[in-house]
Homo-oligomer: A and B are copies of this chain.
Amino acid sequence: MIIDCHGHYTTAPKALEAWRDQQVASLSGTTAAPSVSSLKISDDELRESIETNQLAKMRERGIDLTIFSPRASFMAHHIGGFDTSATWSSICNELIARVVGLFPGQFIGAAMLPQSPGVDPATCVAEIDRCVEEYGFVAINLSPDPSGGHWTSPPLSDRHWYPVYERMVELDIPAMIHVSTSCNACFHTTGSHYLNADTTAFMQCLTSDLFKDFPTLRFVIPHGGGAVPYHWGRFRGLAQEMKKPSLGEHLLKNIFFDTCVYHQPGIDLLTKVIPVENVLFASEMIGAVRGIDPTTGFAYDDTRRYIEAAALSMDDRHKIFEGNARRVYPRLDAALRARAAA
């Protein structure tokens, strides 16, 4: 089967955005915050938003299952404080759970966290528990920069983040390291902030001994690892100068890269440079780049085509499409086994 480990609910019914707009407007104090119960989205609306979008493309492209999480750019942890983010993430995660309930064979959930700049990440643990235990989610999205482009939190190697890691290890779930909208005019959200965050997160791990403290902690770095595979020689050389172990020993038992790289030469480099065990199939469809590449005639984000065309053995391709995801997301593997046995 083909598992896409990186999909966001970018096509949610407009009522969701309208509710959020009301919530944001209420922060100025001139209007009341909307109640959670005032948001009404029917199953039919959810079904249609998925069937005509993600599911249609999954069928067209032969993708069997997507690990599905709330829209990354809408997380916007920088807006309001913890309560604002807690209510918003709870709503967004519940919608994901409902989508999974409607399409249990095609989607499985990953949680957005109620992060807020300056707030102890320990406050996210309750939502992690709820999403994993009640909704059966198999992963979380963790933002290294809840400020939205001002980078005011400590690096991922700091003890600041340990409460989240401790719970991840207990639950045996990985985190995709994924920022949200940039509110810094220097950074375009999907063109630079996302890629910069990927590179930054990798380097924060490289300079630290985080994975000595958490040998089973697993991070998925999206967007093909930002700049990392392209500069693999640079990172190998920097680790060497810092007297760190080889990157394979130091980081690759814990860090994985997805395949959201939207052209053949990029995927060719990724699959050549990074050990195949560390590459997970993903497309981030429907996401930042939705058009048709005029040089190929196919969608930029139809990444399956690039993996099929890359110089990979059948066995390696299987690892990228399915095997690695089952290993990195054990709760996904367990869910698939339970279904198969049912």
Contact = CB atoms under 8 A, between A and B. Distances in A.
Interface residues of A, number: 58
A151 interface: yes
A233 B262 contact: yes
Interface stretch (A3-11, A33-41, A167-175, A234-242): A234-242
Given A151-B187, A192-B203, A227-B227, A290 B233 contact: no
A231 interface: yes
A207 interface: yes
A146 to B, nearest CB: 12
A80 interface: no
A199 interface: yes
A250 B288 CA distance: 20
Contacts of A149: 151
Given A154-B185, A155-B186, A269-B230, A237 B262 contact: yes
A325 to B, nearest CB: 22
Interface string A169-194: 00000000000000011111011100
Given A150-B151, A234-B300, 11 more contacts: A149-B151, A151-B184, A187-B200, A191-B238, A196-B200, A230-B261, A230-B269, A231-B261, A233-B263, A237-B300, A238-B288
A296 to B, nearest CB: 9
B238 A261 contact: no
A109 interface: no
Interface in A128-149: 144-145, 149
Interface string A266-293: 1011001100000000000000111101
Nearest to A156: B186
A285 to B, nearest CB: 12
B234 A262 contact: yes
A149 B187 CA distance: 12
Contacts of A117: none
Interface string A189-219: 0111001100110111011000000000000
Contacts of A232: 263, 265-266
Contact of A145 (B186, B268, B293): B186
A39 B321 CA distance: 61
